[in-house]
Structure 1
Amino acid sequence: MSDISPIRRELLKNALVTIADNALVMVTRTARTANVKNSMDFSAAICDGDGNLAAQGLAVPVHLGVVMPALRGCLDYFGDDIREGDVLASNDPYSGCSHLNDIFTFKPVYVDGKRVAFVVLVLHHTDLGGRVPGGNAADSQEIFEEGLRLPPVKMRDGGQNSDAVFRIIEANTRIPERVMGDLHAQLAALDEASREVEKIARQMTPATFGSYLVDLVDYAEELTRNSITELPDGEVEFDEWNDDDGAGHGPIHLHLKLTKKGDEIVCDFTGTQDDTGGAVHCNWEFAVSCTYAALRTVLAAEIPNNAGLYRPITVTAPKGTFISVQFPAAVGSRGQIGFRLRSIVLGALAKLVPDRMPACAGGSEFALAASGRTETGRSFLHLEFHNNTGLGGGPDRDGQDAGPYCIGNLANVPIELIESENPIRVERYEFLPDTGGSGEFRGALGIVRDYRFLTDNVRVQVRSDRYTSQPWGLFGGGPGAGGKLTLNPGTEREEALPSKFIRTLGKGDVLNAEMAAAGGYGAPEKRDRAAIARDIAEGKMSLEHARKVYGYVEREAIEA
């Protein structure tokens, strides 16, 4: 549009991103559960009045591609029955959301009776009922087993909270005081963000504000197409595996054909295995969101994160595959296959642009839910997602040990917090030497945590992977070491555990969780000898491993 000022557009973009970020800061200061306030398993966004994503905050990337389908589910249901003061909400995967723990809330913003925007907040709520505390059981077969399912509803109607909805949520969680605390934090941040958006829209006038939002999305599309054009044309294919489906079937095969031509990218998952059951698979909206998040890593950093970024990207797959399951399939552990979706896209990109992409990231996608009662009778539920141990080796550097996965984005939960809020003691949290994938540039090391339970009858649920499907290396680099779970290691009661399980543990039991390391990049014989010596000196690599894998000799260690 000729009357759009690029400077004003940039100022508006930054203002909207700041509003979304401030909403998340408010949530961290007022929420009650560690998964929200410490892991920061949440996202904030702003959509235009028609539901198109216009801006997002510092968020969990795979949430954002689901915002528009989830909002569309609400808009399709309510139609013209939306007014000022409403808050729409849903967590229903079959109405566009991702899984039941993620409650999407949408507050319309009005100026002089005209709807100009929606403010969006997504929080992963720790427990919404279901057969297993935490709601992430990998072996569930139907969504009805996983907890409270909220189809599109009004959490607030004309400014008044819906007591019925609040009471239903409160009655369907094992930790009502904490979940309701998180919910109120979510709504308070939504209110504050909507007031700030309204101020901007009033200052600009609704018509001008709307025009700039449309232009901002179009601008993102233009930048995205320019960025895609700079990538080489080509058609590449990549295969990945998940160890199992959580219900006894596996390994699960995923296939991707990625085609880049001109200013567009097509990701075709035809050839991916059909759905086999369990709850590790995902619905289509989440699969598409994961694909967007992975592709974002090779696009220009200055592109605004909004609906325009998605327009040049097409994602396809037959219905009924492992990544496009149909009602009433359970999807509580869909985060697991989400990691594999992202790694398969990154693997395909490594073939398309080999000089830019690192090897596969580490992490066994470890998720732990432990619940029960303390010895004084207080109920507890600890939920933790420890998904990443660092990146793979890249074209010019080692993978950063314990570094963040570029599309994971959850924060570490401090041990002190875990121990202060739960009858759990973390007795070990450290790197695993010799585990990083070998190569000219090695992968990040695996990580281990030992959890000792300090009370009886603790219901423990674990969802993890990468035990048989190790993180892959690139161009001669070796795979990272796989994950492993052991109960009571080093004792007469030592027991190897599967990657996904639900069982009751007792006082004194220790869960040893080894998380997979990242893959290596390039031929090991090209590795710099000083880098090997440094790894040995820092305890990240044993001399024996250096000798066996890299042909390193003691004389080099002495000289170094």
Structure 2
Amino acid sequence: MSTESHDSDDSTYEPSAADILRERDIDPVTMQVIGGELDTIAQEMAYKLIRSSYSSIIRESEDMGAGIFTTDCRELCESDSTPMHVGSLIGYLDGMYKTFEERGIEREDAIKEGDVFIHNHPHYGASHSPDIAVAVPIFYNGEHIAWAANTAHHLDIGSATPGLAIDLEDMYAEGSLFRATKVYDEGERVDEIWNFIQDNVRTPREVIGDLQAQISSCNVGKDRYLALVEKYGLEEIQQAGEALMDYAEALLRNEIRKIPDGTYYAEDYLDDDGRNRGKRLKIAVEVTVDGSDITVDMSKSADQTPTGYNIPFHGSTDVCIYFTIRSILMDTFVRDEYLPQNSGTFEPVHPKARPGCMFNPTPPTSAFARINQVDKMSDLIIQALAEAIPDKVCAGTCGQVYFVSYGGTNDEGEYWVYLEVNEGSYGGRPAADGLDAVDALVHNTKNRPVEDIELSHPMRVEHYSLREDGHGAGRHRGGHGIVRESTFLTNAVMTMEGDGNTYRPHGLFGGGEGTHGDLKHIKANGEVIDLNSKESGYKFEAGDRVLIKTASGGGYGDPHERPSEQVYEDYLDGLVSVEEARENYGVVIEDGELDVGATAELRSA
């Protein structure tokens, strides 16, 4: 790492948040009121989609996002759901425009009132192909003034294996790819496209139902935005939107200036690409702070893989970088002022990745399976900045998630597909322990109730709890991952998009490493088979079980500085053994009781 202090005499003028309001000549109260109404629109869009959807990945896990966007692909507002979805919609809309250009179609000819588009091409801005976007143009007095758009993860798009896919030859093996495809043309349903989808996915009822829910959500956004325009006037709304984006940019730039100029670096390795076992993949993060700008460069990472284990640059790599920086520097939980979440927060952040690396693959490379790479990238951005801003970062998060699809056929030969997100944990924080059983920052999906799983699929969840076999020791300990054990009631096929079987979340400032993940197949006869973190089309027979243990986070600070009473409470909760308390924390527990004197003696030795 190299650093240098900021030049306080720098004459380059950058407006503050207060300057933005004066220059825009807009009342701050009016701006915040309109901002709040825009945020409410995005939230209502999300609720409509969640409550109307058919599949549990949207209905329960909320693997989706929604918002309102300008006609030049900037985000005005976003729902509080999955960050990877909302921020990626900028890339989706831009990819649609590129599609029109490549096809020689003018935008005004391509986009009509009453149109509904779907789009999911990973090399045209999509986060990855199972995340299908629905975009509805908003017209006012015959003029295209904005977009209402959302994305959601679909159960199946007809890929090589049910639900998820990893070991793919190229993007054509991913399933159905759509580029600015109309499903409604000036209000008329395009039956040929709906029939195509119906005939080319394993779960047509759920996929068609979820797409219709997405359209309903976008229509809610369109109607609410038009009501806002009628209330304030188009010019006022557009002016407020510009002011909100400028204001958000100024707020983030002010926070970036507080970081010492310099280049910060961190690296780690992923397990493999899902085909070439034992060949680890390097992830390298180089963060450069220059005044009020910050660049995150992934170019020193491994080359693109021959499988689907790659990350689309626009829609995934850039969105993860935007969100991670914003989360570190503009945490809404600890800030009192209004913090708009829009494209303004993207302006000071500059993602980079050389073409041909994992984080910027070139066509026709597949980029289907990408969540663990962006999880780890986010973790490494935090690690790289730890020395510069130690009070704003946490120790190593799980940096991975076991995202899995299970599938099979019922007695009538119809497919069932279930997508399951198995949560990891966060690392210890400057003033608190790591969070237990949570997703990494960038996807933020929710837990699905066991009762709903067993009601909807031929599976029985035998065990689901916090993992109790270790965490990263520290003044603030790492969070605990989960243990989930499930039995298949029929033959089933699994595709596991995981990582972290071979590495442990890092500790910070004297904290210890966390625990790595683990995945096992337990046959009905009791035989135990160790599985890779990535498996494509793996077969289970009725009565077999799958055991999943997600990683536990790293520790923050010297474990001997953790109050002995807290260590003893962890012991009572089953999170620390007597041996671990002594070895890792210098805390003595005898006959189930805390020995204060022996602890003081051991810690002073």
Q: Smaller-chain TM-score range?
A: over 0.9
How many Å separate the matches in 2 of 1:132 and 1:50?
37
Tell me the residue number matched to 1:206: 234
Task: Give yes or no for the alignment of 1:468 onto 2:496.
Answer: no
SS in 2 for 1:36: helix
Does the aligned pair in 2 maintain the 1:366–1:515 contact within 8 Å? yes
Alignment of 1:132-151 (within 5 A): 132-134=161-163, 136-151=164-179
How many Å separate the matches in 1 of 2:76 and 2:589?
58
**CA-CA distance at 1:234 after TM superposition:** 2.9
Does the aligned pair in 2 maintain the 1:359–1:394 contact within 8 Å? yes
Does the aligned pair in 1 maintain the 2:119–2:181 contact within 8 Å? yes
How many Å separate the matches in 2 of 1:476 and 1:325?
37
Tell me the residue number matched to 2:156: 127
Tell me the residue number matched to 2:347: 311
**CA-CA distance at 1:204 after TM superposition:** 2.3
Does the aligned pair in 2 maintain the 1:227–1:299 contact within 8 Å? yes
Tell me the residue number matched to 1:256: 285
Task: Give yes or no for the alignment of 1:152 onto 2:180.
Answer: yes
Tell me the residue number matched to 1:266: 295
Aligned partner (choices 309, 317, 322) of residue 287 of structure 1? 317
**CA-CA distance at 1:299 after TM superposition:** 2.2
Aligned partner (choices 24, 30, 40) of residue 46 of structure 2? 24
Aligned partner (choices 365, 371, 387) of residue 335 of structure 1? 371
Does the aligned pair in 1 maintain the 2:375–2:399 contact within 8 Å? no
Task: Give yes or no for the alignment of 1:455 onto 2:490.
Answer: yes
Does the aligned pair in 1 maintain the 2:508–2:556 contact within 8 Å? yes
How many Å separate the matches in 1 of 2:84 and 2:410?
35
Task: Give yes or no for the alignment of 1:351 onto 2:387.
Answer: yes
**CA-CA distance at 1:171 after TM superposition:** 1.2
> In angstroms, what is the RMSD of aligned CA positions?
1.8
**What is the CA deviation profile of residues 2-32 of structure 1, one whole-angstrom value per residue up to 9, with x for unaligned ones?**
4422211111111111111111111121110
Amino acid at match of 1:463: E
**What is the CA deviation profile of residues 255-289 of structure 1, one whole-angstrom value per residue up to 9, with x for unaligned ones?**
12211122111112231111132212212111111
Amino acid at match of 1:392: G
Does the aligned pair in 1 maintain the 2:486–2:546 contact within 8 Å? yes
Amino acid at match of 2:448: V
Does the aligned pair in 1 maintain the 2:375–2:440 contact within 8 Å? no
Amino acid at match of 2:373: I
**CA-CA distance at 1:52 after TM superposition:** 1.4
Tell me the residue number matched to 2:598: none
Tell me the residue number matched to 2:9: none
Q: Compare 102-111 and 507-516 and name the one that shifted more.
A: 102-111
**CA-CA distance at 1:137 after TM superposition:** 1.7
Query: Identity percentage over the alignment?
Result: 30
Does the aligned pair in 1 maintain the 2:86–2:151 contact within 8 Å? no
Give the total of aligned pairs: 557
**What is the CA deviation profile of residues 151-197 of structure 1, one whole-angstrom value per residue up to 9, with x for unaligned ones?**
12122211112212211111111111111111111111111210110
**CA-CA distance at 1:364 after TM superposition:** 4.2
How many Å separate the matches in 2 of 1:343 and 1:279?
22
Tell me the residue number matched to 1:528: 563
**What is the CA deviation profile of residues 210-246 of structure 1, one whole-angstrom value per residue up to 9, with x for unaligned ones?**
2222222122212221222233333211112211111
Task: Give yes or no for the alignment of 1:60 onto 2:96.
Answer: no
Aligned partner (choices 581, 589, 598) of residue 554 of structure 1? 589
How many Å separate the matches in 2 of 1:404 and 1:97?
21
Amino acid at match of 1:322: M
How many Å separate the matches in 1 of 2:203 and 2:351?
39
How many Å separate the matches in 2 of 1:381 and 1:188?
24
SS in 2 for 1:19: helix
How many Å separate the matches in 2 of 1:3 and 1:544?
65
Tell me the residue number matched to 2:335: none
How many Å separate the matches in 2 of 1:112 and 1:179?
34
Q: Compare 207-216 and 534-543 and name the one that shifted more.
A: 207-216
Tell me the residue number matched to 1:38: 60
**What is the CA deviation profile of residues 319-342 of structure 1, one whole-angstrom value per residue up to 9, with x for unaligned ones?**
101111111111111112111121
**CA-CA distance at 1:377 after TM superposition:** 5.2
Amino acid at match of 1:539: G
How many Å separate the matches in 2 of 1:34 and 1:161?
26
Alignment of 1:166-245 (within 5 A): 166-245=194-273
Distance 1:322 1:405, change over 3 A: closer
Task: Give yes or no for the alignment of 1:445 onto 2:474.
Answer: no
Amino acid at match of 1:291: I
Does the aligned pair in 1 maintain the 2:524–2:545 contact within 8 Å? no
How many Å separate the matches in 1 of 2:400 and 2:124?
30
TM-score norm. by structure 2 comes to: 0.89
**What is the CA deviation profile of residues 100-159 of structure 1, one whole-angstrom value per residue up to 9, with x for unaligned ones?**
11111211111111222111111111101011000x222112111111011121222111
How many Å separate the matches in 2 of 1:292 and 1:480?
26
Aligned partner (choices 125, 137, 140) of residue 111 of structure 1? 140
Alignment of 1:69-108 (within 5 A): 69-76=91-98, 77=100, 78=105, 79-81=107-109, 82-108=111-137
Alignment of 1:393-404 (within 5 A): 393-403=428-438
SS in 2 for 1:410: coil
Q: Compare 119-128 and 347-356 and name the one that shifted more.
A: 347-356
Amino acid at match of 2:224: E
How many Å separate the matches in 2 of 1:332 and 1:64?
18
Task: Give yes or no for the alignment of 1:542 onto 2:570.
Answer: no
Tell me the residue number matched to 2:513: 479
**CA-CA distance at 1:528 after TM superposition:** 1.6
How many Å separate the matches in 1 of 2:87 and 2:268?
22
Q: Compare 219-228 and 188-197 and name the one that shifted more.
A: 219-228
Does the aligned pair in 2 maintain the 1:303–1:309 contact within 8 Å? no
Does the aligned pair in 2 maintain the 1:363–1:517 contact within 8 Å? no
**CA-CA distance at 1:515 after TM superposition:** 0.8
**CA-CA distance at 1:376 after TM superposition:** 6.5
Aligned partner (choices 506, 509, 519) of residue 544 of structure 2? 509
Alignment of 1:385-400 (within 5 A): 385-386=421-422, 388-400=423-435
TM-score norm. by structure 1 comes to: 0.96
Tell me the residue number matched to 2:466: 431
Tell me the residue number matched to 1:412: 447
How many Å separate the matches in 2 of 1:257 and 1:548?
35
**CA-CA distance at 1:556 after TM superposition:** 9.1
Does the aligned pair in 2 maintain the 1:116–1:210 contact within 8 Å? no
Does the aligned pair in 1 maintain the 2:399–2:440 contact within 8 Å? no
How many Å separate the matches in 2 of 1:557 and 1:468?
34
How many Å separate the matches in 2 of 1:271 and 1:174?
39
Does the aligned pair in 2 maintain the 1:224–1:303 contact within 8 Å? no
**What is the CA deviation profile of residues 288-316 of structure 1, one whole-angstrom value per residue up to 9, with x for unaligned ones?**
11111111112233431111111111121
SS in 2 for 1:93: coil
How many Å separate the matches in 2 of 1:396 and 1:3?
41
Tell me the residue number matched to 2:401: 365
**CA-CA distance at 1:492 after TM superposition:** 4.2
Structure 2 gaps of 5+ residues are 1-22, 333-337, 596-605
How many Å separate the matches in 2 of 1:395 and 1:311?
28
**What is the CA deviation profile of residues 26-70 of structure 1, one whole-angstrom value per residue up to 9, with x for unaligned ones?**
112111000010000000011123221111111211223321121
